[in-house]
Amino acid sequence: MKYHDSETAREVANRVQAFMDDVVLPREREALATGEQITDDEISELWEMAKERNLFAPQMPEEYGGQGLAFRDMLPSFEQVGRSLIGAISIRANAPDEGNMHTLELVGSEEQKKEWLRPLVQGEFSSGFSMTEPMQGGGSDPKMLGTTAKKDGDEWVINGHKWWTTGGKESDFLLVMARTDLDAHPYAGTSIILVPTDTDGVNIVRNISHLGGHDITEREFGHAEIKYENVRVPVENTVGEEGQGFQIAQMRLGGGRLTHCMRYSGMAERSLDIAKAYLSEREGFGEPLANKQALRHRIADAETKLHMARTGVRHAARELDQSEARIEVAMAKVFTANVTNEIIDLAVQCCGANGIGKDLPLAQFYENVRAFRIVDGADEVHRRSIARDAFEDIREEEINHVLRFDPDRRAESSTDE
């Protein structure tokens, strides 16, 4: 399929694809087949190779060691890395570090960029984004955020309870969303504060056991439950403007949702490739299974929906370059999340027992993709925004116009003629 991506975007995505095909996918297949985990040293080797091929951290400016690609130019590369379980990390474009790099680059102070962003891009540091809280704190309704940061002299004192902070246990620092002005509406009184993970009072309770996970790498990539108990950090650790936490998080999430869509589209595309290869080779009832119309129609639907998802994400990315594009991003996210879930489920089905076997990556894709309908805003939350926007234009005048026959209007239009 042609997507009319820019020449730069296509050129880089072709090189990322070659890196995946030549280096990353073979290593992933080996790890899946043997059960031998990919070590941190091997990940560092992959980074060196990515640097030699000018593919390392494509989303970051060159001054921090990235490739300096514009957002729309790097999107197709995210599809390519999504094809492998270790694709994103192999070029340092993995969540949540990628989103945190983006946040610090956009609104971080020069000091924060020097001290935290540069080593984060280089892979010397890793990070977490700590927003979601257990009941009755912030989740789908982020206004319910309960974590507070109070000023004491030139320090913040942070108290709160978070969970599902991806990479939190392994991180060097955390970007923590906290209410900094309890008198203001949460959208005007919440800030993002950078907290080094080894600060006194940052208590990592556990990594939460869950469906899926990256168990082909030595590194855990877990989702941490964390208690912040009288955690003191300098007020200069505020990331961006005080009170603007939600606006900054929205900037982070808008692009982050689309990069997630691209990675999961890549995962779905590889799943379809595997399913089509399996069906073409496997015979049953006197012919290759690929000849069965019942399956062919389902593959056709899957190809169609994946194409629509990829097109929608590209459209949202173009809009995001111009404006906030909240609705386009919400539509792209909810559609891609559902389509990729459906396609990976179909691929598992097409491959029979091999679909759930671990020689192929499908079982792990299947486990991983389920979270995409929840993370970055659950389906229902995006539908809520889309519906609110859809109903916004329906005023009384509009209702009359749409529902009722108006003889005067008819007369007016016939006079015009």
Interface with ligand FAD, residue 100, by CB under 6 A: no
Q: How far is the CB of 152 from ligand FAD (least distance, A)?
A: 25
Interface with ligand FAD, residue 278, by CB under 6 A: no
Which residue in the set 140, 230, 280, 304 belongs to the binding site for ligand FAD (CB under 6 A)?
A: 140
Interface with ligand FAD, residue 96, by CB under 6 A: yes
Binding mask 20-59 for ligand FAD (x = CB under 6 A): ----------------------------------------
Q: 226: helix, coil or strand?
A: strand
CA atoms within 13 A on the CB side of 322: 6
Between 47 and 129, whose beta carbon lies closer to ligand FAD? Answer: 129
Interface with ligand FAD, residue 381, by CB under 6 A: yes
Give φ, ψ of 350 to 5 degrees: -65, -30
Interface with ligand FAD, residue 156, by CB under 6 A: no
Pairing of strands 173-179, 190-196: antiparallel
Q: How far is the CB of 84 from ligand FAD (least distance, A)?
A: 18
Quick one: which of 25, 28, 87 has its CA closest to 58?
87
Quick one: which of 29, 99, 7 has its CA closest to 59?
99
Which residue in the set 66, 82, 139, 355 belongs to the binding site for ligand FAD (CB under 6 A)?
A: 139
Give φ, ψ of 124 to 5 degrees: -75, -30
Binding mask 223-262 for ligand FAD (x = CB under 6 A): x---------------------------------------
| Residues contacting 228, CB < 8 A, separation 6+ | 147, 158, 159, 160, 161, 162, 176, 195, 201, 202, 203
Tell whether the torsion through CA atoms of 88, 90, 93 and 95 is positive or negative: positive
Q: How far is the CB of 10 from ligand FAD (least distance, A)?
A: 31
Amino acid at 328: E
Residues in 197-226 at the binding interface with ligand FAD, rule: CB under 6 A: 223
Q: Which residue is nearest to ligand FAD (CB)?
A: 139
DSSP label of 113 = I
The token pair that represents 71 in the structure block: 């957002």
Question: Residue with structure tokens 């949702």?
Answer: 257
Q: How far is the CB of 162 from ligand FAD (least distance, A)?
A: 7
The residues of the shown chain that bind ligand FAD, judged by CB under 6 A, are 96, 129-132, 139-140, 164-166, 223, 371, 374-375, 378, 380-381, 384
